Amino acid sequence: DAGVTQSPTHLIKTRGQQVTLRCSPKSGHDTVSWYQQALGQGPQFIFQYYEEEERQRGNFPDRFSGHQFPNYSSELNVNALLLGDSALYLCASSFRGLAGRNEQFFGPGTRLTVL
């Protein structure tokens, strides 16, 4: 089992550009959540996808959008990049069942640097 995988590992962009980050969930998982972790901070919830729909969203602007594919993998898109978008972007997968008591498994993250 490969666990949660994310690509790319690192990315450097300039202000105003657009970026797409990718995530493949752990085998058997159907739900993907995205988090932003600024340096020295805890992760902040961006949104969660299940059955190819955004189910819940944190306090992030519309510049942040996502998608989930039929194979449960997911993309995070950020438009009009700002310097403040520089962070580690974490993907977490989980299985929707079990009455919400199961944990989320995290990928290694994508380090985005905006210059």
Partner 1 sequence: GDSVTQMEGPVTLSEEAFLTINCTYTATGYPSLFWYVQYPGEGLQLLLKATKADDKGSNKGFEATYRKETTSFHLEKGSVQVSDSAVYFCALSEIAGNNRKLIWGLGTSLAVNP
A 10 A CB-CB count for 61 gives 10
- The CA distance from 90 to 44, in Å, is 10
> CA dihedral defined by 109, 20, 60, 87, rounded to 10 degrees?
40
Among 10, 12, 16, 55, binds partner 1 (CB under 8 A): 55
Binding mask 3-42 for partner 1 (x = CB under 8 A): ------------------------------x-x----xxx
- Of residues 86 through 115, those in contact with partner 1 by CB under 8 A are 90, 92, 94, 96, 100-101, 103-109
Return phi, psi of residue 84, to 5°. Answer: -70, -5
**Binding footprint of partner 1 on the chain (CB under 8 A):** 33, 35, 40-45, 48, 50, 55-56, 58, 90, 92, 94, 96, 100-101, 103-109
